[in-house]
Amino acid sequence: ERSRSCSWGRGGNAGKANGKVREKTGKEEAAQGPESTPAMEDTEEEVKKKRGDEGRLEQMDDLPVEIEGAEADRWGGPLLSWEDAEKRKVLSPELVAVLQREGLKRPTQVQRHVLPVVLHKNRYFDLVASAETGSGKTFAFLIPIVQQLLSQGDMSMMRPFFPGTSAQGMPLVMLASPTRELAIQTDKEVQLLLKDTKLRSACVYGGEPVKVQGQKLQEKQTDIICGTPARILDLIDAGRLSLSFVQTVVIDEADQMLEQQGLDRVMGELLTGRDLAEKNARQTLLFSATLAPAVEEICRKVLREEPHYVYVRIGNYDDVKGGSVAHIKQSLVWAPDDNTRMQLFCRAVADIHARRIREAQSKGGNSLTLRYEAARAGQIAANNSLAAADGGGDFRRAEQDAQAAARKVADLEEELRKSGGSAAPLAPPQPGSTNSLGMPLRPGQRPCEYFMRTGSCAFGMKCMWDHPERPPPSKPLGAGVPPCRVVVFSNRRIQAEQVTAMLRGRGFYADHLHGKMEQWQREEVVSSFQKTDFGVLIATNVAARGLDFDDTRYVFQLDLPTAIDVYTHRIGRTGRIGNEGTAVAYMGHKDAALAKPLAELFKLNSQDVPSWLEQLAEQPPAQGKGGGRK
């Protein structure tokens, strides 16, 4: 058996200041207010169909399973189906009907193994579960905790509640998430399972005043509290929330929650420093895609001793790198400088969009919307060529091509408006306005703020086109062409801003997401991104964990992270529930420290390893010369 022992806290200064708990958001960046967009989200039936896609489920069925702790005969072994769960009295017929109604035709691999463990009589087992990103971990803990609450019946006599400004929420389950977005997303999934029941959940997180969020707990008793740990602490200290009745604690993204500097101390305070029952009097469930040995050791502070815990890992694991991501096609592109990186990235995204247009056309599509999107794809390609032109005749030709493409788009926009389409009207520029090259602005354009402020744009590359506001969301192409969303990761706030502005200037629907934005902005960006048929989201690590965007087919990393497990979480935004996905990362000399673990991860998941990566991995680590900035 694995040893799991460690002490809380690895440094950091998160915690309380002036009586308030500060929410830690990590390396996150800044943004503009989003605009509202026409709704284009998947219908409820489409979402259900994706959840029950048999092809996706089959891809995960053959993954290896490793179980430590209690033997399978102690908890009954994995489920075969929802019918098997009903027959074994693991799940009630009513909850099985809800799961099938929501499109969950059968349990995923992680759900098959986790449900009987969590639902063993009297909450006998604690659990640590590691499985690849997008494998159904969220429902793996939501289904059993909802079943537990339904089986208990009415608990109101044990938890007296008096509505009003002095009310105090006394939940039975606490779900802790590292980010606001993940907490909100988890609560939405909870709502699906609580539909038509008397159970109630509440979601709390930073970004809104404690008083406002405390009002969520004043009307009715709360059974499940979803939230970020610091905000849960705030509400406890404000007298709005008590954890004294909590029976089950779920820690999502456990590696980040228990080890990341700042979050580890907040979680330690939440688990041991307030009115939550001590570990032997509650059930604790830890879930993550990656659990390094150091994090596993911390688990002893959280879990009960043997024989009261089970450790489930699903997939081809390395202790640090995480689970199987072989279904995601991964590639590394050598880009020694930022200028090269941006040109390659813009060309790749333009090619993705153009391929979708060609696919629709090959299937007989010829609608006005499709012709408009084809013209926009041509304009994007022309703008990319203009940005890459060095000068002289090449620049003039590229400029003429870009202007011709812009006129074609404008003509089709006018046709769309006349036919009742939704191409947004273009605001006229201010008289005498020019772009960064002294050229007159086109309708809908404004001077580049980054160029005006710094004299450069997008990593020093001179801004060739000024940046309009976010273009209108692209419309479905029809002809059976599915939506396609692209998530791009950057390590720096300013880079995310610049890339977003540059993509908008070239005609893409683009937005960015980071932890320094106002909460309403973050929620609106996520919502808007999910409503476009083709869009690009530039994000920092705030979106690296847990967030599930349907139809995310590509993930790009403009900057590689410093830790390989972060790389794993990032690429997990595509290929959800066994679906295929593509992940592209740009690498340069500054990323040499990650070469060896990347090469090992590629081999672990049967990916082609570039020869230059193997050579870089064999080089000894660079030694600092001292005297530099630390």
pLDDT digits (tens, 9 = 90+) for 411-427: 887 787 777 655 444 33
- Who has greater pLDDT, 435 or 571? 571
Return the number of other C-beta atoms located less than 10 Å from residue 158's C-beta: 10
pLDDT the model gives residue 623: 53
pLDDT of 44 > 90? The answer is: no
> Which of helix, strand or coil describes residue 351?
helix
Strands 20-21, 16-17: pairing kind: antiparallel
What is the C-alpha separation between 173 and 176, in angstroms, rounded?
A: 10
- Who has greater pLDDT, 98 or 103? 98
What is the C-alpha separation between 412 and 262, in angstroms, rounded?
A: 52
- Who has greater pLDDT, 207 or 88? 88
Residue 474's pLDDT band (boundaries 50, 70, 90)?
low
pLDDT the model gives residue 173: 96
Pick from 16-30, 189-203, 297-311, 463-477: least confident = 16-30
pLDDT of 483 > 80? The answer is: no
Q: Nearest CA to 129 among 144, 148, 149, 151?
A: 144
pLDDT the model gives residue 203: 94
Pick from 266-275, 313-322, 561-570: least confident = 313-322
DSSP states of 263-297: HHHHHHHHHHSSSSPPGGGSEEEEEES---HHHHH
Average pLDDT in the 378-391 region? 75
Each residue of 276-296: pLDDT tens digit?
999 899 999 999 877 766 667
pLDDT the model gives residue 583: 92
For 61, counting Cβ atoms within 10 Å of its Cβ (0-12 exposed, 13-18 middle, 19+ buried), the class is exposed
Q: In whole numbers, what is the pLDDT of the chain averaged over residues?
A: 75
Q: What is the CATH number of domain 320-365+481-619?
A: 3.40.50.300
Query: Which segments of 456-579 does DSSP mark as H helices, in order?
Result: 493-505, 519-529, 564-571
For 62, counting Cβ atoms within 10 Å of its Cβ (0-12 exposed, 13-18 middle, 19+ buried), the class is exposed
Please say whether the beta carbons of 189 and 139 come within 8 A: yes
Return the number of other C-beta atoms located less than 10 Å from residue 480's C-beta: 10
pLDDT the model gives residue 427: 39
Q: Nearest CA to 310 among 77, 64, 62?
A: 77
Query: Which segments of 419-557 does DSSP mark as H helices, in order?
Result: 449-454, 493-505, 519-529
pLDDT the model gives residue 132: 76
User: 610: number of CA atoms within 13 Å, CB side?
Assistant: 15
pTM for the predicted model, two decimal places: 0.61
pLDDT the model gives residue 149: 94
Residue 577's pLDDT band (boundaries 50, 70, 90)?
low
Each residue of 513-554: pLDDT tens digit?
877 777 777 778 887 887 777 788 998 876 656 566 777 889
- Who has greater pLDDT, 515 or 334? 334
> Which of helix, strand or coil describes residue 583?
strand
Give the residue extent of every domain in the chain: 56-152+172-314, 320-365+481-619
pLDDT of 343 > 80? The answer is: yes
> Which of helix, strand or coil describes residue 419?
coil
Q: Nearest CA to 122 among 75, 83, 69?
A: 75
Each residue of 580-625: pLDDT tens digit?
789 999 999 889 989 998 998 888 878 889 999 988 888 876 654 4
pLDDT the model gives residue 451: 45
CATH 3.40.50.300, applies to 56-152+172-314: yes
Residue 456's pLDDT band (boundaries 50, 70, 90)?
very low
Residue 53's pLDDT band (boundaries 50, 70, 90)?
low
The amino acid sitting at 35 is E
Judge if 56-152+172-314 and 320-365+481-619 fold alike in CATH terms. yes
Q: Give the CA distances from residue 611 to residues 321, 382, 449, 556, 599, in Å, rounded to whole numbers and listed in that order.
A: 21, 33, 41, 21, 10
